[in-house]
Amino acid sequence: MKNSDKLVTIIIGERSNLSYHLFKRLNHAEIFSSALLLQSLVQLSKFREKKVNVVFNNFQPSTHLNSFVDPCKYVDLSISLTLRVLMYLIESGAIINQIIYSSSCSVYGNVTRGDNYSEVSPIGVPSSLKYINEQILREVCNDYDLKLTIARIFNTFGGNDEFSVISKIYNCFINKTKLGVLNDGKSVRDYIHVDNIVDVYEKILLDSSIKLDTIDVGSGLGKSLAEILIYLSNNGFTFNTENANKNEIDFSQANTSMIKKIIDISTFIDVNVYLLDKLKSSGEKNKIIR
């Protein structure tokens, strides 16, 4: 896709895996550190009366989602910064073309879903903050007649991912350690490669005909960890696991009715194929990890 030379995409959240890969893809984008913006928004003054897209990837780092050592900073990174940046741009006269807020599939909780994106049941602080941010952004964007897309992202893998179970599988293989598994790995998840998330974002940002309020960003394919491990075992990679029982969401899978309207999801990178290729590239095939 040819990137527009009339728009600059502002990406908030410098350390985000998605931010990095989106920045690499777009010809006209600038990326900003959440921590530095919390100190001062003056670096955004260059966009006064400029035409911009805004992507909010700021949140508590994924590796510290359950850490509340500094609860005020947690809320600042997750909610306050989003609103401060948006209001600064509005008040400085920036011409905002499109906003994407990177939310999470966790806002759905364990709710049995149909096609209604309003059926949510966030569990825990991170998903609750994501949902609160969605609601506040909707109100502000409605007041200022701004185009907002809420992107509820499912389980991301690939790139510089250090958080997903997919990265944990690979690291256990490399470090020859046991793989921790919850509830025998039976819970179903929808996995999407970071490059495919970028594909979706690029379409939304650069195609003005696309108007989406909320979109599930996932593959639409549900796979359990147990199924992934069986697939790897059948291909020569067997892991020794250590199981623990814990309450968790049983089933999480994207509703692809919206995403199919803008992109061919059949081209998405399959998590099994990706992980097998990554393990094979390490040159350690047919090893049992103990």
Q: Mean pLDDT for each consecutive 10-residue tract of the chain (290 residues)?
A: 68 96 97 97 97 94 71 90 98 98 94 74 91 96 98 97 94 94 96 98 95 96 97 95 92 94 97 97 58
**What are the structure tokens assigned to 142, written together?**
């409605």
* Residue 52 belongs to domain spanning: 8-160+193-220+253-268
What is the pTM for the complete model shown? 0.92
Q: Would residue 231 count as lying in a domain?
A: no
Note the pLDDT of residue 68: 77
Q: Distance (Å, rounded) from C-alpha 170 to C-alpha 275?
A: 8
CATH code for the domain in which residue 211 is found: 3.40.50.720
Q: Which two tokens stand for residue 118?
A: 């309003």
* Cα distances (Å, whole numbers) of residue 113 to 47, 276, 282: 40, 31, 40
| In the block, residue with structure tokens 């003054």 | 45
pLDDT of residue 63: 64
Count: domains in the chain: 1
pLDDT for the residue numbered 286: 44
Amino acid letter at 135?
A: Q
Tell whether 123 is covered by a domain.
yes
Helix, strand or coil for residue 252? coil
Tokens coding 195 = 């490059």
Tell me whether strands 241-244 and 8-12 are parallel, antiparallel or unpaired.
unpaired
User: Which pLDDT score is estimated for 283?
Assistant: 66
Q: What are φ and ψ of residue 56, in 5° steps? A: -100, 105
Q: Is residue 79 part of a domain?
A: yes
Cα 171 to chain center, whole Å?
Answer: 21
Return the pLDDT at 26: 96
In this structure, is residue 201 part of a structural domain?
Answer: yes
Contact 205, 26 (CB under 8 A): yes
- Rounded Cα–Cα distance for residues 101 and 91 (Å): 19
Residue 287 DSSP symbol: P
